Chain A
């Protein structure tokens, strides 16, 4: 199992600014994932962050908009850059151990005004 601490839990940001979300895991994991959940919707994968390599982005998401860092096996950050109201969502980090349960942080609720 894994316990994931994500912060901030929520924020209200001005358009055009950037926000960095932190994700700390209580154990070493190879794969970390970042998801976006728009209001009333399901989860959409943004990217996979593996330590020691560039993040892999899903279709529709680009590094310039969502830069990701993965400095070690227990930590990752996701930055939402040059925000617009359309970026208002819940952002969640997740870890998995391959073919078993995935664990999620509690999410960061972002509102862009």
Chain B
């Protein structure tokens, strides 16, 4: 059983469209990280959310941490082809190990 479930698993959209990716857990976590991985590369951190209800913006990306700290979302406005990649949510356990969600593979078509 995956500790962090992401949805959708795969998303194919046209450039300019908006999209939302979800990360859900049955457990409460103290913080959550979002990473993006491009082909042939390792994941790169986009943001860390810490406070329940927190909203963080990174250009066209908006990250939200649920009030109960059991879920998070990533919204992309006006997607571009450069947004294509694998989006991963992750939490750090008490041993500083990163546990990744199931991932959402995004394809933005020109």
What is the interface of chain A, defined by CB distance below 8 A to chain B? 4, 31, 33, 40-45, 48, 92, 94, 96, 98-107, 109
Contact = CB atoms under 8 A, between A and B. Distances in A.
B56 to A, nearest CB: 14
Given A42-B102, A48-B97, A101-B48, A94 B42 contact: yes
Interface string B29-47: 0010100000011111100
A96 B95 contact: no
Nearest to B42: A104
Nearest to B99: A45
27 contacts: A31-B96, A33-B98, A42-B102, A43-B43, A43-B88, A43-B100, A44-B100, A45-B98, A45-B99, A48-B97, A94-B42, A96-B92, A96-B96, A98-B96, A99-B31, A99-B92, A99-B96, A101-B45, A102-B33, A102-B98, A104-B42, A104-B43, A104-B44, A105-B42, A106-B40, A107-B40, A107-B42
Given A42-B100, A42-B101, A102 B45 contact: yes
Given A45-B97, A103-B42, 18 more contacts: A33-B97, A40-B105, A42-B86, A43-B100, A45-B99, A48-B97, A92-B42, A94-B98, A96-B96, A100-B48, A101-B45, A101-B48, A102-B43, A102-B90, A104-B43, A104-B44, A106-B42, A107-B42
Contacts of B42: 4, 92, 94, 103-107
Contacts of B33: 101-102
A39 B96 CA distance: 25
B48 to A, nearest CB: 7
Closest 7 CB pairs of A and B: A104-B42, A42-B103, A101-B45, A43-B100, A42-B100, A98-B96, A102-B98
Nearest to A4: B42
